[in-house]
Amino acid sequence: MPELAEVEYYRKQWNPGLGHTVHKVLTHPNARIFRDAPATAVRKALTGRTFSASHAHGKQMMFEFSDGGWLGLHLGMTGKLYTAAVDHKPEKSEHLALVLDDLQLVFSDYRMFGKLTIDVTDDGEAPDWWKELPPQILDRGFSKKRHEQFVRRFPKTPVKTLLLDQRGFPGIGNWMADEICWRIGIAPQTVSGNLTDPQIEALWKATRKVSRDAIRVIGSDWSDPPQSWLFKHRWKNGGNCPRKDCRSELLRADLRGRTTCWCPRCQG
């Protein structure tokens, strides 16, 4: 579930720990989330360091610690971040907890599709892989030109599938991809080679608009999106298109392995 707005929400959940020192790191060492960074390395790197800042980039997060300590997190499908009491005992799905002075920073993930990375840099700079992530949708680097080049590069791929490609649209996930297609009235199955120039520009605009809206509504305090979004109707059987002059029954089908929802009338 976590797409860029939910990621932004979760990133902030650890804020109460800013400025505090990690006294102890609790782990379930065999949990799959440690596949890229062994639990021992995480414990060693973070114990004694002070939590100084956090960053989000698409679906990725980076937590910054004193003296060049960097903890990268990806939430996968079921990852969650929150704080707990300092004497909290880790539950089964709480695979990582950073124990500070008076609270714990907890990473829970019951399906363990999430993962973490650990980097310690000499110069205190963020690790290279972080700096080299593709431009964020709301940054200047996400230009109309770059967007058009990316879309034109995969002419056989359906637009919806393309929107899920993190190299081109970092942070877009399943519901946002459908929301974007719906707002510009393009069927998600349309292969991008069939898109006109104006449609590609509309796609660029809608991608930015949906990202901004989602971060404002969900990213701040996980508010419920308004009824006017496709999001509110997409999961239930027999949901209807929220557009006032439409109200057609929404369709759902598998597209390249992902559940896809669209309005047959608005996105004919």
Partner DNA sequence: AAGTAGACCCGACGAA
Partner DNA sequence: AGAGTTCGGGTCTACC
Per-residue string for binding with DNA, 63-102, x by CB under 7 A? -----------x-xx-------------------------
* 3 state DSSP class of 220: helix
Position 152 contacts DNA (CB under 7 A): no
Q: CB pairs under 8 A, 24+ apart, for 125-132?
A: 125/68, 126/55, 126/62, 126/64, 126/70, 127/70, 127/72, 130/57, 130/60, 130/62, 130/70, 130/72
Q: At what angle do helices 197-214 and 4-13 cross, to 10 degrees?
A: 20
Phi, psi of 174 (to 5 degrees): -60, -50
Applying CB under 7 A, the span of 19-27, 96-104, 197-205, 252-260 interacting with DNA comes to: 252-260
Is there binding between residue 129 and DNA (CB under 7 A)?
no
Q: Which of 159, 165, 149 is closest to 185 using CA atoms? A: 159
Between residues 13 and 157, which has the closer beta carbon with respect to DNA? Answer: 157
Q: Binding to DNA by residue 110, rule CB under 7 A?
A: yes
Q: Which residues contact 127 (CB under 8 A, 6 or more apart)?
A: 70, 72, 117, 119, 121
Residue in 38, 121, 235, 249 binding DNA, rule: CB under 7 A: 235
Among 21, 50, 136, 166, which residue sits at the site for DNA (rule: CB under 7 A)? Answer: 166
Nearest distance, CB of residue 109 and DNA, angstroms: 9
Given the complex with DNA, which of 35 and 216 has the nearer CB atom? 35
Using the rule CB under 7 A, is 259 a contact of DNA? yes
Residue 258 CB contacts under 8 Å (≥ 6 apart), including other chains: 160, 161, 164, 174
CA 74 distance to own-chain centroid: 8
| CB-CB neighbours of 257 under 10 Å | 8
- For DNA, give the closer residue by CB, 198 or 257: 257
113 touches DNA by CB under 7 A: yes
- Stretches 129-137, 141-149, 197-205, 256-264: which one binds DNA (CB under 7 A)? 256-264
When asked if residue 236 is in the footprint of DNA (CB under 7 A), the reply is no
Task: Kindly state whether residue 13 participates in binding DNA, applying the rule CB under 7 A.
Answer: no
Identify which range of 129-137, 159-167, 209-217, 236-244 contacts DNA by CB under 7 A: 159-167
Q: Which of 164, 206, 214, 218 binds DNA (CB under 7 A)?
A: 164
Q: What are phi and psi of 178, to 5 degrees?
A: -65, -40
Stretch 204-233 residues interacting with DNA (CB under 7 A): none
Q: Which one, of 151, 129, 130, lies nearest residue 142 by Cα?
A: 151
Residue nearer to DNA on the CB measure, 20 or 208: 208
Whether the CB-CB separation of 173 and 164 falls below 8 Å is answered with yes
Contact 83, 105 (CB under 8 A): yes
Q: How far is the CB of 143 from DNA (least distance, A)?
A: 19
Nearer to DNA (CB atom), residue 65 or residue 175: 175
Rule CB under 7 A: which residues touch DNA?
A: 1-3, 32, 59, 74, 76-77, 110-113, 153-158, 161, 164, 166, 173-175, 235, 256-259
